[in-house]
A = this chain, B = another copy of it.
Amino acid sequence: MLRSTARTTDTQSGLTMSAEIDFAVPESVEIYDTTLRDGSQQEGISLTVDDKLRVAEALDGLGVKYIEGGWPGANPKDIEFFHRAPREIRFGNATLVAFGSTMRPGGDVNSDDTLRNMLDANTEAVCMVAKSWDYHVKEALRTTLDEALRMAEESVRYLVERDRRVFFDAEHFFDGYKNNPQFAMAVLRAAQNGGASTLVLCDTNGGSLPFEVERIVREVKSSFPTQIGVHFHNDSGCATANALTSVGLGATHVQGCINGYGERTGNTDLSVAIPNLTLKMGIETIPREKIAIITSVSRHLAEVINIATDPQKPYVGTSSFTHKAGLHVSAIARRKDAYEHIAPELVGNGTRFVVSEMAGRSTVAIKASELGIDLTKEQIATVLEHLKTLEHQGFHFETADGSMELLLRRATGWNQNFFEVESFRVIDDFRDNSEQLTEATVKLWANGERLIATGEGNGPVNALDGALRRALTPLYSGLNSIHLTDFKVRVLDSSSGTGAKVRVLIDSSDEVGSWTTIGVSPNVIDASWQALVDSIVIGLLRTQQG
């Protein structure tokens, strides 16, 4: 083992610190994303081939070095993906990898379907999984340890001889090493003998802790000249730390997923590991200029994959640089770097201040002045009081910046005079489970005129939106440039069953920007209506100002 120096950059002060640590820290690390194979095994994820192509394109745009595209043969989708990806995507940085297992026990490389499928995927590189825990060889493969070694070595050699770069994925390596280190090491040796380019140590069950990983990676690194990679699952909540520890000991290939997708608790979250490696350990990962798009890539993938991302996710979460408590907010207004571990712009995220009932006067004052609204001390106190009451009813202004703006404006005595609502009605009619009619009628007053309009839609909210626009567009043509871009429903206190309160959030945008509005009611239609009306009012205000 080399003894070298771990570099840490204190991003606050700009100082670079050194510490003598028994780490052989590499200059650079290959980033390998397995969202399209291991990541897709997450509960709730179900990707079409088109989705997979969009994911691959985004990952390539981020600059990861390898994209594992799937398991050809296990799944018709994955075969189609490997066929279409090189034709439809112009890859800039990434190499596609096909995943598969070794040949079967007692098999022959020349007639093994899995190996054939891996070759047919026609990729430069393949990732071959093999069992390195003796327990699995006996119980799952039901063969001998010697046969497992033969399967690994011959399968690797077969693909290497056909010009594939082979990543050797030693499944259950850490559990295997704990149980039978001789066998686990013999499996790596077999792969090395077969010509594998990289020995990837996989903590398949995700149970290993950093001090175990440190001991085992150190042992492997000192026994093999071949490149070492790691693949951690997060079942002990230590996947990121385990990856960093391994890199600190000389591993130069890290597998994981942007957003940490994966079965059970997921894989190493690359959107966390990459900034840690690059910004804190000074190791090259993706191209340096791409670090600043990692937040937007993380969010884009979450949309394509259609899994809401944890707002608390380090670096890329919507809350990761959000300040709420009164004390901090007034301090941070003076010195941002005192309360943020990195400048959020480095990863394309940003500082946010949120207003809630916990807010002090300073938070409300900052928010109002951001919007150019002048509030007296008394008005600020009134806003805080009102905020408290509404939040108690289930409103949440932290995300609903549009409705928050209206609340602040109303505190000055302002009221919207674009239109007044007299009544609205929604009728949903279903016959024989097939025919269906949804219509909404709104009655409004605007400019002294009574406006009545009816809209149809594929649901009550859609119909109401249509009716509202039909009534108002003749007066306010600016409405044509306002679009509803997102619509979210959350049931509050859902244990009251169908009588529970519902919170609706609507995101809207015009040519310049976007805003979010909120409604709360036991009636989903009523809650949607509140958010719709706020959305339109903010939109009209912006038209007026613009």
Contact = CB atoms under 8 A, between A and B. Distances in A.
Contact of A491 (B311, B432, B489): B489
A209 interface: yes
A112 to B, nearest CB: 16
Main secondary structure of the interface of A (DSSP, over half): mixed
A389 interface: no
A398 B46 CA distance: 11
Interface string A200-212: 0000111101111
Given A427-B425, A430-B424, A391 B46 contact: yes
A13 B179 contact: yes
Given A234-B314, A495-B486, A21 B425 contact: no
Contacts of A266: 312
B341 A206 contact: yes
Interface stretch (A189-197, A372-380, A522-530, A538-546): A522-530
Nearest to A388: B46
Contact of A140 (B46, B206, B303, B338): B338
Interface string A3-31: 00010101111010101010100000000
A335 B136 CA distance: 9
Q: How many copies of the shown chain assemble into the complex? A: 2
Contact of A244 (B209, B324, B425): B209
Nearest to A135: B338
A51 B281 CA distance: 42
Contact of A241 (B238, B314, B339, B462): B238
Contact of A489 (B358, B436, B489, B495): B489
A460 B321 contact: no
Contact of A265 (B235, B317, B528): B317
Contact of A523 (B210, B211, B459): B459
Nearest to A325: B41
Interface stretch (A55-63, A285-293, A498-506): A498-506
Contacts of A500: 487
A172 to B, nearest CB: 8
Contacts of A422: 431-432
B236 A272 contact: yes
Given A487-B500, A491-B489, A210 B210 contact: yes
Contact of A17 (B178, B240, B248, B314): B178
Contacts of A12: 135, 175, 179
A42 interface: yes
Interface in A350-396: 354, 356-358, 391-392, 396
Given A12-B175, A237-B240, A354-B43, A499 B457 contact: yes
B46 A358 contact: yes
A19 B178 CA distance: 11
A531 to B, nearest CB: 10
Given A6-B211, A8-B212, A432-B423, A322 B264 contact: yes
A255 interface: no
A172 B328 CA distance: 13
Report the contact-size class of chain A (Cβ under 8 Å from the partner).
35 or more
Nearest to A180: B13
Contacts of A234: 312, 314
Interface string A299-332: 0000100100011111101011111111110010
A280 B462 contact: no
A433 interface: yes
A146 interface: no
A40 interface: yes
A220 interface: no
A457 to B, nearest CB: 7
A29 to B, nearest CB: 15
A261 to B, nearest CB: 9
A429 B433 contact: no
B41 A320 contact: no
A83 interface: no
Contacts of A524: 459-461, 489, 524
Contact of A497 (B425, B485, B493): B485
- In the complex, the 10 A-B pairs of residues with the closest C-beta atoms, listed nearest first: A207-B341, A241-B241, A484-B497, A459-B523, A458-B522, A237-B272, A489-B489, A237-B240, A237-B314, A205-B341
20 contacts: A12-B175, A44-B396, A139-B338, A206-B314, A209-B280, A210-B210, A235-B315, A235-B341, A236-B314, A264-B312, A264-B321, A264-B322, A265-B313, A265-B319, A306-B493, A423-B432, A424-B430, A425-B428, A459-B525, A488-B491
